[in-house]
């Protein structure tokens, strides 16, 4: 379908925002904005931290591409506002977004659905973190439950590191997650579509320096290797693709998302870590990389995602 076949109207690319991931969001949004404009779409930048969301209605925007990351953009809050305004938006709806931003709630739902995710403890103190370390073993991941991009994350390898790891994570969120570390291959897999039509894009295997896929190695250097095709046996790829599509569906996601997975080196069993409902679209981002391997260029991907913009309650009346 060509752009001329679509009546997108005036499009807002929501970027920036007030989360700890503001800088990355501005990078993602700028890329999306340029891509949409290059396809003849009437697209405009819109920073919710600088403008009232009500202006989307008064300024005549007919749909939104959400390029916000983290809180106040990927957590159901903006999605809820857009539902009230009656403006279709990209990505999952209110409930799925709110659940997915909360790693603890996500893991509880996945576990209840029989989907594999690493063992975890929820903690509210440094003492609780030490107890979790004794239970989960070394190494252990300590991270805020409602942040992304490895912000506030520590890989703990000794009891002496627990207090500082808890303090760092708690500085970002009162809800702190201690998680069993799965040693093995790290992969990510995007999912597009909704319901029975949801499908996985090619898996990307991530090989970071010293196995440390942190904020710096994600966004600001070229030392991390991204392998697509992944080089994994096809049977393993198929199992991971099935797992991430199930994970996406059970949370009620639509539009697009990207699931992060660790493969246990000893058993080759894949474990779900988290799902991102507004993935990055920067030069280092993984969804565009995966899409290219499937024959979908960056501009085409942006248009495809924009075309999927919708509302949870499309038939409702709006002010």
| Same domain? 110 vs 257 | yes
Same-domain check for residues 197 and 66:
no
Quick check: is 316 in a domain?
Answer: no
76 with 137, same domain? Answer: no
Q: Do 221 and 233 touch, CB atoms closer than 8 A?
A: no
* pLDDT at position 216: 59
Q: Is 157 a catalytic residue?
A: no
Does a structural domain hold residue 64? yes
CATH of the domain at 188: 3.30.470.20
Q: Is 149 a catalytic residue?
A: yes
Rounded Cα distance between 103 and 88, Å, is 26
pLDDT score for 1 = 39
Catalytic residue among 166, 213, 219, 248: 219
Q: 260, 271, 298, 299: which is the annotated catalytic residue?
A: 260
| Identified catalytic residue from 19, 97, 149, 230 | 149
pTM over 0.85, yes/no: yes
Shared domain for 80 and 128, answered yes or no, is no
Task: Tell me whether residue 297 is one of the annotated catalytic residues.
Answer: no
Instruction: Name the nearest CA neighbour of 35 among 287, 294, 223.
Output: 287
Which residues is 32 bridged to in the sheet?
none
- Compute the distance between CA of residue 135 and CA of residue 302 in angstroms, rounded to an integer: 44
Q: Is 198 found in the same domain as 176?
A: no
Sign of the dihedral through C-alpha 3, 6, 7, 8: negative
Residue 132 lies in a domain: yes
User: What are the φ/ψ torsions at residue 297 (nearest 5 degrees)?
Assistant: -70, 165
Domain that holds residue 230: 99-116+182-301
pLDDT at residue 147, rounded to an integer? 82
Determine whether 124 is an active site residue: no
CATH number of domain containing 85? 3.40.50.20
Contact (Cβ atoms closer than 8 angstroms) between residue 20 and residue 70: yes
Considering the candidates 71, 146, 205, 258, report the single residue annotated as catalytic: 258
- The reply to whether 317 belongs to the active site is no
Give, to the nearest 10 degrees, the angle between helix 162-170 and helix 126-136.
Answer: 120
Catalytic residue (choose from 257, 276, 285, 290): 276
Q: Are residues 76 and 25 in the same domain?
A: yes
Residues 145 and 63 in one domain: no
Q: Does residue 317 form part of some domain?
A: no
**Does residue 273 lie in a domain region?**
yes
Residues 108, 224, single domain; the answer is yes
pLDDT in tens, the chain (319 residues): 344 446 899 999 999 999 888 999 999 999 999 999 999 999 999 999 999 999 999 999 999 999 999 889 999 999 999 999 999 999 999 999 999 999 999 999 999 999 999 999 999 999 999 999 999 999 999 999 998 767 899 999 999 999 999 999 999 999 999 999 999 999 999 999 999 999 999 999 999 876 665 555 555 567 889 999 999 999 999 999 999 999 999 999 999 999 999 999 999 999 999 999 999 999 789 999 999 999 999 999 999 999 999 999 876 655 5
- Is 219 an active-site residue? yes
Residue 268 lies in a domain: yes
Is residue 44 within 8 A of residue 12, CB to CB? The reply is yes
Q: What's the rounded Cα separation, in Å, for the pair 178 and 162?
A: 10
Q: Which of 157, 180, 203 is the last residue of a domain?
A: 180
Question: Coil, strand, or helix at residue 95?
Answer: helix
Number of domains in the chain: 3
Q: Which of 29, 70, 148, 280 is catalytic?
A: 280
- Rounded Cα distance, 82 and 312, in Å: 10
The answer to the question of residue 311 being in a domain is no
Would 53 be classed as within a structural domain?
Answer: yes
């Amino acid at each position: 379908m060509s752009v001329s076949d679509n009546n997108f109207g005036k499009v807002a690319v929501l970027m920036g925002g007030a989360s700890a991931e503001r800088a990355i969001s501005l990078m993602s949004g700028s890329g999306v904005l340029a891509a949409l404009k290059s396809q003849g779409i009437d697209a405009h930048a819109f920073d919710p931290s600088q403008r009232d969301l009500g202006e989307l209605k008064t300024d005549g925007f007919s749909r939104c591409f959400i390029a916000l990351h983290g809180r106040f953009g990927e957590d159901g809050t903006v999605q809820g506002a857009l539902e009230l305004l009656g403006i279709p938006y990209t990505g999952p709806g209110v409930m799925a977004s709110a659940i997915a931003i909360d790693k603890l709630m996500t893991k509880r739902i996945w576990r209840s659905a029989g989907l594999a995710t690493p063992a975890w403890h929820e903690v509210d103190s440094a003492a609780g973190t030490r107890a979790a370390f004794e239970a989960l073993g070394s190494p252990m991941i300590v991270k805020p439950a409602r942040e992304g991009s490895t912000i506030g994350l520590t890989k703990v390898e000794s009891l002496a590191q627990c207090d500082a790891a808890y303090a760092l994570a708690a500085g970002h969120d009162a809800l702190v997650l201690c998680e069993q570390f799965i040693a093995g291959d790290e992969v990510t897999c995007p999912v597009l579509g909704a319901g029975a039509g949801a499908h996985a894009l090619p898996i990307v295997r991530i090989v970071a320096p010293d196995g440390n896929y942190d904020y710096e190695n994600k966004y600001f250097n070229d030392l991390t290797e991204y392998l697509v095709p992944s080089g994994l046996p096809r049977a393993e790829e198929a199992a991971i693709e099935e797992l991430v599509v199930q994970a996406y569906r059970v949370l009620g996601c639509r539009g697009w998302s990207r699931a992060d997975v660790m493969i246990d080196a000893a058993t080759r069993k894949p474990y779900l870590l988290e799902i991102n409902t507004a993935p990055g679209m920067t030069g280092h981002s993984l969804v565009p990389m995966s899409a290219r391997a499937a024959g979908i260029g960056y501009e085409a991907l942006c248009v495809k995602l924009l075309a999927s913009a919708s509302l949870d309650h499309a038939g409702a009346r709006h002010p």
